[in-house]
Amino acid sequence: MEMMLNIDVVEQLGSPMIRFAIGANAVVLNVNEVEDLIAWMARCRSGMLPSVTEQPRSGAVMAAENEPLWDIKHDAQADSAVLMLRHSGFGWLGFKMSEQNLQSLDDAIRGADNDAHNVVSNRLN
């Protein structure tokens, strides 16, 4: 007998929560538990095959955050920095990047180099 996972937003004690149910069994998670679950699932996904593609899929429609908050922490000793971007659903995502990679990103954003996109893409090869 196949049972379907149902996921719903519910309100309990005046707060939105997520309810996961399979058959007669259910669990309700608050915002902190949902954040912990998302982080745990991301860690699990990072070890799964096939891995996340190195390039966005051609023609894929992506939900983009409008004007996300960001922060950057430089580490001069390691010649790198951590670029942090805030996603309203995933929270703060950190990306450790070399200063050279950050410069390539800056060039691509500014359009300073017509081949900047290729420079960023080619670093994967």
Q: Does position 2 have pLDDT exceeding 90, yes or no? A: no
DSSP SS3 for 5? strand
Return the domain boundaries, the chain: 5-46, 70-122
Contact in structure between 4 and 11 (CB atoms under 8 Å): no
The total number of residues written for the chain in this structure: 125
CA distance 122 to 116: 10
Average pLDDT for residues 109-123, to the nearest whole number? 58
Q: pLDDT of 78-94, one tens digit each?
A: 889 999 999 999 999 99
Structure confidence at residue 59 as a pLDDT band (50, 70, 90): confident
Structure confidence at residue 114 as a pLDDT band (50, 70, 90): low
Contact in structure between 94 and 84 (CB atoms under 8 Å): yes
Structure confidence at residue 122 as a pLDDT band (50, 70, 90): very low
Nearest Cα neighbor of 75 from 105, 93, 99, 107 is 99
Contact in structure between 19 and 28 (CB atoms under 8 Å): yes
Average pLDDT for residues 6-34, to the nearest whole number? 96
Structure confidence at residue 40 as a pLDDT band (50, 70, 90): very high
Nearest Cα neighbor of 16 from 2, 39, 32, 4 is 32
